[in-house]
Amino acid sequence: MHRVFRFPSRGLLLASLAAAVACHAVNAAEPKPGGPLETTASRGVTARDPSTIVKHGDTYWTFFTGRGVPSLHSKDLVTWERGPRVLEKPPEWIAKEVPKNDGIYWAPDVMKVGDQYLLYYSVSSFGAMHSAIGLATNPTLDPKSPDFRWTDHGPVVQSRDGGDFNTIDPSIFLDDDGKLWLSFGSQWSGLKLVELDPKSGKRLKPDEPMTPLAAGQSIEAPWIYKRKGHYYLFLNRGNCCAGVNSTYHITVGRSEDIKGPYVAKDGSLMIDGGGTLVLDKKIGTLTGPGHAGIVEKDGKSWFSCHFEADDRMEGKATLGVMPIRWSEDGWPEVLPPDATK
């Protein structure tokens, strides 16, 4: 994966957070079947490669790429504030296993499993296949709780130069039967799936072959969602990290089995490079949507991702939270923030 990160100073970050207060409701220009859609859009929050948004108590949390895995929290998915980092200092295993890493950890994902939150994060370096996905756990996301403490558990999966896959961009999925899965990957031979032990968060069978999910040029950032008997695999194609020149876009396919095959609406296979477009590379003032997620709020579903560049923020990455609805034949439709302008 070829990533270049440009993080704003703390002052610029706080300024961008303040801009979120100005977010307002927008209405669908042409409501689709199913009735009018009330929508809100969260914009102006700097966060690259955001995790799935999770709710703890009355607060929503997301984690994103940065030093030590930074976080944001919100009461309403519109106004966001900076939270604590997950890792205040690098875990000791990283220096040995991924010595070229610079303390910036990429594309985390988080979920509550049992009585603890599992947070997976990527450890790599620019353009390298020498990577690992680490795991940290916490019984709570409330920094004010006496139980709040992130504990690192070391690497879960690793890749090395000379192989054909890359262990970055982790995504966690808990199935209805209690099985826990981790999808991940970037570039090379594509995206992979492994089963996890729900108790430890580590691989259930470390020697079991990985399941290939999707392949093709410029592929990364998998995320799995289940709805009405189908597993939906969202992923990114295109090139990231180029600001307004980014070609990042999000596609999806679905399957009746979590291991695939994942099929696009036109019948093409994601393992062969197929996929149905969810968000295109350029939407109004926004460029390069990436790292899909879905969160429930007030009985409605909301789609989250970053946009690699926002013209209103001098090209900085922006967190987006948008309504998602489903067509009669079961395909997702996302209303971008600028859709009505």
Indicate the pairing of strand 66-67 with strand 219-227: unpaired
Q: Indicate which residue of 97, 220, 308, 310 is catalytic.
A: 220
Q: Is residue 208 annotated as a catalytic residue, yes or no?
A: no
Q: Indicate which residue of 49, 109, 152, 195 is catalytic.
A: 49
Burial (Cβ within 10 Å: 0-12, 13-18, ≥19) of residue 267: exposed
The count of other CB atoms within 10 Å of the CB of residue 255 is: 18
Region label for 20, one of left (φ > 0), alpha (ψ between -120 and 50) or beta (otherwise): alpha
Residue partners of 11: CB distance under 8 A and separation at least 6 = none
Residue partners of 302: CB distance under 8 A and separation at least 6 = 53, 77, 294, 295, 296, 321, 322, 323, 324
28 vs 10: CA distance, rounded Å: 35
Omega of the bond leading into 261 within 30 degrees of 0 (cis) = yes
3-state secondary structure of 93: helix
Distances (CA, A) of 105 to 90, 284, 286, 313, 316: 10, 30, 24, 24, 19
DSSP code of residue 100:
T
Determine contact, residues 173/258, Cβ cutoff 8 Å: yes
110 vs 106: CA distance, rounded Å: 13
Q: Is residue 147 annotated as a catalytic residue, yes or no?
A: no
Q: How far apart are the first and last CA of the chain?
A: 34
Indicate the pairing of strand 131-138 with strand 116-123: antiparallel
Strand partners, 40: 25
| Positions marked active-site | 49, 220
